[in-house]
Amino acid sequence: MLPRRRLIKTSIFALTGILGALVHGCGPSAPPGPPNRLVVGLVSYDTGARSVEKYERFKQYLAERTQSVVELEPVYNELRAVEQIERNIWSIVFAPSGLAAIAISDAQYLPIHPLQGPTNLRSVIIVRDDSPIENLIDLSNEVIALGDPGSAVRYYLPLYDLYGLTLSEIRFAPTPRTVLEWLSDETIAAGALAEHDYQRLRSDFIGTKFRVLHQSRIIPSGAVLIGPTVDRNQQRLIETALREATSDITSDTGYIPNAPPPKFEQLILLVDKVRPLQARVREIPAVLTLEKYDPDSESE
């Protein structure tokens, strides 16, 4: 039998341990780790806040399904979009076709679903109906408008088709509407934009008639892309969420959940062929030729 003094010390030690455990268990728990963060990028051109509002329901849905903090980041031209993609800022991108091609080839983004829109997407070069210009050769030494680098229909496709010409100047229109505004007031002789944008906007210019001078080849629609910095588990959650989204959400955001992504290999090749010309497009005059370079010399 333990002496009385030792028994008291032992009991006090045990009680202290029990109280310590109780205090530790009832105290504040360790703070949770930072939540996952997903940044959704989109190009909204001149639609502004209306474009962002359409994605709010998708934002809430994706946050719930992936247990993440979801942020929307709209930009208003492809140039800014390319910067965000090259820096891997965007986790998910609703990308027009040219931007998708760059993201896939340059930044290892993964396409998962096609965007809604025209199945026969193409670029058109537009002139005023009263213009004496009848073919692309007539654009020599004229001022024309393109879009920003990153746009297939407003930049890469028309540059490809204009190869070999010397232009007085190339101006860069921030939106498709701007192209028609500049044509209407005769600031430019011709301008490039998507065919569907031309058909949508042409009736807004009462008193000015336009004419299609040239149509490009057909290219695929855009796509929803997942960035390379998204970990594999999170990627699976995103893919499942997008596939199972309700029709009102997919309609708002404009993608097709039950279809495979478009194939961008041919568009990537075209973009790569045009890129050597980019150093010249801002020169005055803009000489769209390079020594030992022919965009048609490689297989399509």
- For position 47, what pLDDT does the model report? 54
Which H or E element spans position 57? helix 56-66
Q: At what angle do helices 78-86 and 97-107 cross, to 10 degrees?
A: 20
Q: What is the pLDDT of residue 17?
A: 46
| Pair (276, 176) in one structural domain | yes
Assess whether 177 and 277 both reside in one domain.
yes
| Statement to judge: residues 163 and 204 lie in one domain | yes
- Predicted confidence at residue 46, as pLDDT, reads 57
| Residue type (1 letter), 300 | E
How many helices (H) and strands (E) are present in the chain, helices listed first? 11, 12
Specify whether the CB–CB gap between 266 and 157 falls below 8 A.
no
How many residues comprise the chain? 300
Residue at 201 is within a domain:
yes
CA distance 198 to 174: 15
Say if 5 falls within a structural domain: no
Please count the other Cβ atoms lying within 10 Å of the Cβ belonging to residue 284: 9
Domain count, the chain: 2
Residue entry with tokens 């609703």: 94
Beta strands in 44-89 (DSSP E): 68-75
- Residue-level pLDDT at 62: 97
pLDDT for the residue numbered 157 = 97
> E-assigned strands of 24-109?
36-43, 68-75, 92-95
Query: Looking at the domain assignment, is residue 225 inside a domain?
Result: yes
* pLDDT for position 43: 86
Asked if 205 and 96 sit in the same domain, the reply is no
Residues 53 and 175 grouped into a single domain: no
Looking at the fold, whether 51 and 65 belong to one and the same domain comes out as yes
Is there a single domain that holds both residue 205 and residue 242? no
What pLDDT score was predicted for residue 286? 96
Q: How distant, in Å, are the alpha carbons of 100, 232, 281 from that of 106?
A: 10, 20, 21
Clarify whether residues 60 and 108 are in a common domain.
yes
- What is the chain's pLDDT, residue by residue, as a tens digit (300 residues)? 444 444 444 444 444 444 344 334 444 443 444 468 999 999 876 555 556 788 999 999 999 999 999 999 999 888 899 999 999 999 999 999 999 999 999 999 999 999 998 878 999 999 999 999 999 999 999 999 999 888 999 999 999 999 999 999 999 999 999 999 999 999 999 999 999 999 999 999 998 999 999 999 999 999 999 999 999 999 999 999 999 999 999 999 999 999 999 999 999 999 999 999 988 999 999 999 986 545 555 444
In a domain, 215, yes or no: yes
Same domain, 141 and 196: yes
Query: Is position 79 within any domain?
Result: yes
State residue 292's pLDDT score. 54
Residue 250 forms part of a structural domain: yes
Considering the domain architecture, whether residues 279 and 251 belong to the same structural domain is answered as no
Give the whole-angstrom CA distance, residue 298 versus residue 300.
6
CA quadruple 224, 227, 232, 233: dihedral, nearest 10: -70
As a whole number of angstroms, the distance between CA 18 and CA 169 comes to 83
104: domain CATH number is 3.40.190.10
Q: How far is the C-alpha of 134 from the C-alpha of 123, rounded, in Å?
A: 17
| 65 & 203 share domain | no
Q: Is residue 166 part of a domain?
A: yes
Q: 23 lies in a domain?
A: no
38 phi and psi angles, rounded to 5 deg: -120, 130
Q: How far is the C-alpha of 298 from the C-alpha of 217, rounded, in Å?
A: 16
Regarding whether 280 and 192 lie in a shared domain, the answer is yes
Range of the domain at 52: 36-117+221-263
